[in-house]
Amino acid sequence: MNAADVRVRDFLADSLALWRVAGKVEAGDSPTVAVVRADAGTIVWIERPSGEGLPLRWLVRWRGAGEAPGAPREQHPRACASLVGMLNTVRGALGVDRGAAVRIAPAPADA
Amino acid sequence: MIPVSVITGFLGSGKTTLLGRLLRDPGMSRTAVIINEFGAIGLDHDLIEVSDESVVQLSNGCLCCNVRSDLVLTLGDLAARREAGTVPPFERVVVETTGLADPAPILHALMTDRNLCEIYALDGVVTTIDAVAGLSTLESHAESLRQAAVADRIVLTKTDMPGAQADAINEKLAVINPGAPVLPIVRGAIAPSALFDSGLYNAGARHPDVQTWLAHEAVAAAGGHARHHHKEDITSFCVIRNEPVRAVTLALLLSALAENCGVDLLRMKGIVRVAEEPDRPAVIHGVQHVYHTPVWLERWPSDDRRTRMVFIGCNIRESWVRGLLDLLDAEVAEETARQSIPRAACAQ
């Protein structure tokens, strides 16, 4: 069992709790790191893309509640360059609204 | 920068009594006061209390009839009048909220408005809690809980009155916001220096009182783990790191906190050892989904150079924050290593 993948799944389980989404996070077959199953019916698959030098770290597929297998986003995953993007995509797939965030990057040291 | 302090507290908790006493103190001369009477941000009333002849005098409501009921406009107008010399050159602003206000929108306004941020800096939040009725108020009014949770300092009022429950309230506050010092007072009597001038956002002018502001030891001592308040499930915990945090990781962390925690994160504050600037700590500060631009201090305020971040919120697990930081750290380290390989290869 890949320890890094376990950490990702634990983190996603905590994320569901944070977003107040009832559901569970399961392991998947490689390259799927985690499968999020919301009690409301949405399923999200999170993968690590294979291939050297790709400018992306995560692929997220999902099937909304009530959608048949092979839903558009299940066929065409969304690529994410970072964990933050992956979280945003999973949150969106689950229909979680956390309000408008104000993101501020660190200012230069001499600012 | 002109420091702005926010005084909040539930209805009847003694905000006005406190303010009245403070304004009679010579240490509060040159202070402009904004009283928020209606709405979350609406400012509908006279701005200034007069403490002596040398301070701002607007006793005939000469500002209240001109300003619109909005904190940003009011502060902007005040700054313009100060610049024009039509009001005395005040050196501090105190905003008193309504008793039912969630102070977060006021803090957001102070943290995000570009024009205001060039003139004003949030100094801190003072919350009054009534020693007689405070316990039941905290139990039954979410507004009161939130006011206590965002406080940098808590003033326990009416401690001399029959029925005061100071010990029980202290016990409850140690769960809600263990980092905020609780200062018992009688009839509003307290020195301004005990409440204001954290100096945090005026770095360079004074030595910032980061230790008091952060008070992470108190949070850690409250259990080392999340402490829960049974009603609102408010938790507080402290994340400490010995290793420096990369600037990119910090930026991603703040983004993720803002985007995922939303209104559940009542208050976050921290001092961060950034890998690229290890001798100059970055001070970070967030209220709900809004984060203040990190402030770089000239030096560490003590020998403790660890990254320390305090979180107060509802439904936020300590394991989520730690997991987020660990995963981001690993991701950034991996990406940095990956990008350095071609350069190393070229060098050979």
Q: Which residues contact B338 (CB under 8 A, 6 or more apart)?
A: none
The answer to whether the Cβ–Cβ distance between B282 and A102 falls below 8 Å is no
What is this model's ipTM? 0.89
Q: Does the model's pTM come out above 0.90? A: no
- According to the model, what pLDDT value does residue B339 have? 74
Whether B215 and B268 share a structural domain: no
CA distance B136 to B344: 65
Average pLDDT, chain A: 87
Whether B290 and B207 share a structural domain: no
- Position B227 in a domain: no
Q: Which domain holds residue B260?
A: 234-347
Q: Give the gyration radius of chain A's Cα atoms.
A: 15
Residue to test with chain B: of A12, A103, A110, most B Cβ within 10 A: A103
Per-residue model confidence as pLDDT tens digits over B10-67: 877 888 788 888 888 888 878 888 876 543 332 323 333 333 322 233 232 222 233 3
Whether B116 and B210 share a structural domain: yes
Lowest mean pLDDT among A43-47, B69-73, B123-127, B304-308: B69-73
Q: Which residues contact B214 (CB under 8 A, 6 or more apart)?
A: B179, B269, B270, B271, B308, B310
CB atoms within 10 A of CB B88: 18
- According to the model, what pLDDT value does residue B49 have? 37
* Final residue of a structural domain among B157, B186, B221: B221
Average pLDDT, chain B: 77
Residue B298 token pair: 């000239």
Residue to test with chain B: of A48, A83, A88, A110, most B Cβ within 10 A: A83
- According to the model, what pLDDT value does residue A13 have? 98
Find the CATH number of the domain harbouring B14: 3.40.50.300
- pLDDT tier at B213, thresholds 50, 70, 90: low
Whether B157 and B47 share a structural domain: yes
**A80 HSE (CA, 13 A, CB side):** 22
Distance, C-alpha A26 to centroid of its chain: 13
The angle at the Cα of A21, spanning A20 to A23, to the nearest 5 degrees, equals 135
Lowest mean pLDDT among A4-13, A65-74, B222-231: B222-231
End-to-end CA distance of chain B, in Å? 51
Whether B184 and B241 share a structural domain: no
CA dihedral B264, B266, B269, B274 (to 10 degrees): 20
Closest alpha carbon to B261 in B332, B176, B324: B324
- β-strand pairing of B2-9 with B31-35: unpaired
Whether B145 and B179 share a structural domain: yes
- Position B287 in a domain: yes
Q: Delimit the domains of chain A by residue range.
A: 3-93
To the nearest whole percent, how much of chain B has pLDDT over 70?
A: 77
**Contact residues, chain B, for A6 at CB < 8 Å:** none
Whether B206 and B94 share a structural domain: yes
- Position B228 in a domain: no
**Contact residues, chain A, for B251 at CB < 8 Å:** 105-106
CA distance B92 to B2: 6
CA distance B316 to B237: 10
Q: How many domains does chain B have?
A: 2
- According to the model, what pLDDT value does residue B223 have? 52
CA distance B145 to B129: 10
Whether B208 and B278 share a structural domain: no
**Contact residues, chain A, for B266 at CB < 8 Å:** none
Whether B310 and B162 share a structural domain: no
* Final residue of a structural domain among B195, B221, B247: B221
Whether B190 and B273 share a structural domain: no
Whether B201 and B273 share a structural domain: no
Q: Do B22 and B30 contact (CB within 8 A), yes or no?
A: no
- Position B229 in a domain: no
The answer to whether the Cβ–Cβ distance between A19 and B112 falls below 8 Å is no
End-to-end CA distance of chain A, in Å? 46
- According to the model, what pLDDT value does residue B29 have? 79
Q: Which residues contact A17 (CB under 8 A, 6 or more apart)?
A: B315, B317, B320
A55 reaches B (C-beta below 8 A)? no
- Position B109 in a domain: yes
Per-residue model confidence as pLDDT tens digits over B264-299: 888 888 899 999 999 999 988 787 777 777 778 888
**Contact residues, chain B, for A51 at CB < 8 Å:** none
- Position B250 in a domain: yes
The angle at the Cα of B108, spanning B12 to B250, to the nearest 5 degrees, equals 130
**Contact residues, chain B, for A103 at CB < 8 Å:** 254-255, 258-259, 291
Find the CATH number of the domain harbouring B289: 3.30.1220.10
Whether B20 and B110 share a structural domain: yes
CB atoms within 10 A of CB B52: 12
